[in-house]
Amino acid sequence: MNFSSRNIAVARNKALAAAAIGAVLAVTTALTATDAMAASTLLELFRQKKQAQTEMAPPTPPAATVRTPRAAVEAPAQPRASAGQPATPIKRITVKGPQIYDYKPDALVRVDFSKFDMQMTAATEITDRPQIDGITSGMPPLPPKASADADTNVFVEAIEHLKATDVRAEKQIADAIVDFYSAHQKFLWSTGLDVASPAKEVAALFAKAGEDGLDPEEYAVVIPADNFDKADEQDRLKKLADFEILLTARALRYAIDAGEGRITADRLSEMHDLPRGRVKARDVLEKLAVADDPAAYLASFHPQSKWYAELKRSLADLDGRENDVQVQIAPGTLIRPGDENPEVANVVALILKKAPADYLEKHQAVLGEHESATVYDPALVAAIKDYQKQAGSQPDGVIGRNTISTLQSESTAVKRDRILYAMERLRWLPHDFGNRYVFVNQPAYRAQYFADGQEKVAMNVVVGSPRHQTYFFYNKIQTVVFNPSWGVPRSIILNEMMPKILRDPGYLGRNGYEVYQNGKRVPSSSVNWSRIAAGQADVGIRQIPSLDNSLGELKILFPNSHDIYMHDTPAKSYFKRDMRALSHGCIRLERPRDMAAAVLDVPVESLNKYFGKNERGVKVPEQIPVYISYFTAWPDASTGKIRYYDDVYERDAQLAKAMEKTRVSRLANS
């Protein structure tokens, strides 16, 4: 190419470049600020096209350490480059899934009377101790006072033997025992040198602890024989002193276990929020000291609800059926309407064994006709659909994995274990649920509203996924919010929204989200999202009320530290699924208007006036307890029959390990 040709080519390239730059600048004048930023970035890339590739962007300074619970650093994400600045890697933190703890049972310590001094601890009557309300505290009311015969008190003669006792107990129990006997200076379980009859009744109660799902060995005591050598009074006093402290320690353990549970729930995982402290060991001792019937008093610590009674009754029934022959369906069975399959008869046999009474009464004739059937005909299909509906499954008439899992007889041992876990978990909750309350059982994917002891409203729910588990806790419903906005949880911002925001600055605005910093609404474009992603700054994101809002048309609030509530959802199809652990932790209601009307104690039709564009909160006339629970075995509200559910969060295994650790620790120190 000659000099003239090169000049023409250079001139042509300059003209093309000027035209391209002009076109980009023209476009930026007609675009929004976000689009203009994108166009400017393209222009910058155009200008840099022929720059040497050896120029490297400086690395991003390391992010400061962020003390954030449940946080972890994720692989670098590439943000959208801004004008004049090449893209650089960003460190992102994410909120981790639920943390499971290594359960630690209570340490056992010696009940130590070594510093006991008769002169410093003269017996006194405690008259200023407040009375405890049995409903609010979880403790039974004070029993009648029994008469005491001071002449038979051998406490003084046994002081030195008390100092030598070697009884191990939980620290709060050990401290309460020393405190009580120092103040009262009398034995509870002996009359003179004889074991009192109430002591034998209490020991008999402990021997039957298995009926309440407890381990009798953890409360076992050896009663001194009625016959003894009266010439060797010191040996008798020693045995009575050992027995006195051991029985008292086991009585307190029994009261606490029955009243609050053997296991401290909050030590299992961070997904448990169930406070303890309703049963005070010293208060229990004060009441035992004046009880006419100490065994009945201790038994009264167990929950007295119909739920507990039905679980206990079912436990006794299972204990009598350990050798039952189980009906099994062949693995991989799939039976569609019209199919011929030898497993049809086994399906019918299982329904006859497991279905509730009202279902059997309705379909008894059809089931009886098909006890030996091999053809899955229309009459049986209709009965199966009805069973699927009652079991909370999709009533499609297909006998597949989900239907078989609800029918398949588990071993008696597995069922028994689930009932034991249910009885233990029930002890964690207040023993009086109240006259009106809402009960959500996560493994059942079910929410129920009760009034006057009767189920009034029930519906399917969606709960948290295994990664975003719903907590196990209880609180009180205070408010129903109509046309709600949604404050996006930090975990969703960091885990799910941040990659979209970093790639697309206009993402939030297009989807109806508002951004807040320091309590003030700010443009999304003004936020340094790199710092937010790295955990170096915080931001609030709110989705405004709309038909597409993630909370639908209402939410029901019971303020708690976990940001969990019940709400509507635009994703109605989820309620048709068998496995409904799909949310980020909140509880999505299948029929939110029915639940809202129930807690507000108004007709459903009266809610129509609240729906519109503006967010509005309505206080419930009376705060209602709500129990966000976890039971893989639970009585049917209408029949009392125990229903079994999948352990969706694998919490049964955690509880089983904690129970075994507790047993080993207690028996090793007996």
pLDDT tens digit sequence for 218-231: 999 999 999 999 88
Give the pair of three-digit tokens for residue 82.
């801004």
C-beta separation of 546 from 512 below 8 A: yes
Q: Which residue do the tokens 């049917």 mark? A: 636
* 350-377: b (≥16 Cβ within 10 Å) or e: bbeebbbeebeeebeebbeebeebeebb
Average pLDDT, the chain: 83
Which residues are catalytic, by number?
567, 586
Strand, helix or coil at 560?
coil
pLDDT value of residue 441: 98
Terminal C-alpha separation, the chain = 103
Query: What is the distance between the alpha carbons of residues 649 and 48, in angstroms, rounded to a whole number?
Result: 53
Nearest to 619 by CA among 441, 482, 445: 482
Query: What is the distance between the alpha carbons of residues 446 and 557, in angstroms, rounded to a whole number?
Result: 18
Question: Is the four-CA dihedral 154, 160, 161, 163 of positive or negative sign?
Answer: positive
Query: Quick one: DSSP state of residue 472?
Result: B
pLDDT value of residue 528: 92
Q: Any residues with CB less than 8 A from the CB of 227 and at least 6 apart, and which?
A: none
Q: Any residues with CB less than 8 A from the CB of 362 and at least 6 apart, and which?
A: 386
DSSP for 388-440 reads HHHTTS-----BSHHHHHHHSPPPHHHHHHHHHHHHHHHHHS-S---SEEEEE
pLDDT value of residue 90: 63
pLDDT over 90, % of the chain? 64
pLDDT tens digit sequence for 570-626: 999 999 898 999 999 999 999 999 999 999 999 999 999 999 878 999 999 999 999
Rounded to 5 degrees, φ, ψ at 435 are -75, -35
Query: Quick one: DSSP state of residue 335?
Result: B
The C-alpha torsion from 91 through 94 and 100 to 102, rounded to 10°, is: 20
CA angle 109, 112, 113 (to 5 degrees): 165
What mean pLDDT comes out for the span 195-204?
97
pLDDT tens digit sequence for 493-535: 988 999 999 999 889 988 889 999 988 999 999 999 999 999 8
pLDDT tens digit sequence for 376-434: 999 999 999 999 988 777 899 999 988 887 787 567 888 999 999 999 999 999 999 99
What mean pLDDT comes out for the span 305-320?
94
The structural domains of the chain, with segments of one domain joined by +, span 3-93, 108-317
Nearest to 175 by CA among 266, 281, 73, 104: 281
pLDDT value of residue 296: 98
Rounded to 5 degrees, φ, ψ at 625 are -60, 140
139 has a pLDDT exceeding 70: no
Give the pair of three-digit tokens for residue 69.
């619970």
**CB neighbours (10 Å) of residue 231?**
7
The residue type at 472: F
The residue type at 395: P
Counting every residue written for the chain, the total comes to 670
Rounded to 5 degrees, φ, ψ at 439 are -125, 120
Give the pair of three-digit tokens for residue 176.
């309460």
pLDDT tens digit sequence for 39-88: 333 233 333 333 333 333 333 333 333 333 344 434 444 444 444 444 55
Q: Rg for the chain (alpha carbons), in Å? A: 34
pLDDT value of residue 331: 78
pLDDT-derived band at 12 (thresholds 50, 70, 90) equals low
User: Considering all CA atoms of the chain, what is the largest pairwise distance in Å, rounded to the nearest integer?
Assistant: 136
Q: Any residues with CB less than 8 A from the CB of 26 and at least 6 apart, and which?
A: none
What mean pLDDT comes out for the span 128-152?
44
The residue type at 172: Q
Query: What is the distance between the alpha carbons of residues 541 and 309, in angstroms, rounded to a whole number?
Result: 47
pLDDT tens digit sequence for 160-195: 999 999 999 999 999 999 999 999 999 999 999 999
